[in-house]
């Protein structure tokens, strides 16, 4: 049986990915300009593909809410690694003070979001390592 804290962490993950998926797919132009500092068709295409990947994460996490965490360790680890490595990448820009063509505040906010969500997933993994 999946515990309420585990369900809460998974739902927070779903909300996290839904926010970024909407930003990446629906508001592609604005997202690219605000977060990357520029927009072109290559950036738009990559943004939309990443948004679609986030939607697949949402679907899989929703299934986990109903079916449980049993034998889901590889998937949960993939999500954790993605979020952790993305956070490290964002923090690299913050610490080197080289935001490129975008705003350092936006990169810092994204770094904080990805750091928090990866910590939550680490908690989920450590609590359930024997089950998943």
SS (H, E, C) 62-111: HHHHHHCCCCCHHHHHHHHHHHHHHHHHHHHHHHHCCCCCCCHHHHHHHH
Domain ranges for the chain, please list them: 4-128
- Give residue-wise pLDDT tens across range 5-50: 889 999 999 999 999 999 888 877 776 676 666 667 777 788 889 9
85: pLDDT confidence band, cut at 50, 70 and 90? very high
Q: Which residue has the tokens 């490129």?
A: 100
Q: How many angstroms separate the CA atoms of 120 and 9, rounded?
A: 6
Q: What percent of the chain has pLDDT over 90?
A: 50
Picking from 31, 60, 59, the residue whose alpha carbon sits closest to that of residue 45 is 31
pTM of the full structure: 0.83
Phi/psi region, residue 39 (left: phi>0; alpha: psi -120 to 50; beta: rest), is: beta
- 1/82 Cα distance (integer angstroms): 26
């Amino acid at each position: 049986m999946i515990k309420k804290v585990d369900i809460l962490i998974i739902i927070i993950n779903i909300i996290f990915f839904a926010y970024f998926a909407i930003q990446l797919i629906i508001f592609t132009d604005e997202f690219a300009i605000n977060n990357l500092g520029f927009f072109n068709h290559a950036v738009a295409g990559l943004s939309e593909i990443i948004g679609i990947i986030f939607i697949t994460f949402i679907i899989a996490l929703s299934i986990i809410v109903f079916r449980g965490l049993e034998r889901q360790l590889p998937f949960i680890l993939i999500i954790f690694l993605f979020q952790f490595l993305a956070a490290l990448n964002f923090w690299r820009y913050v610490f080197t003070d080289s935001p490129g063509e975008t705003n350092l505040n936006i990169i810092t906010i994204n770094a904080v979001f990805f750091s928090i969500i990866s910590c939550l997933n680490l908690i989920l993994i450590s609590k359930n390592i024997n089950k998943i």
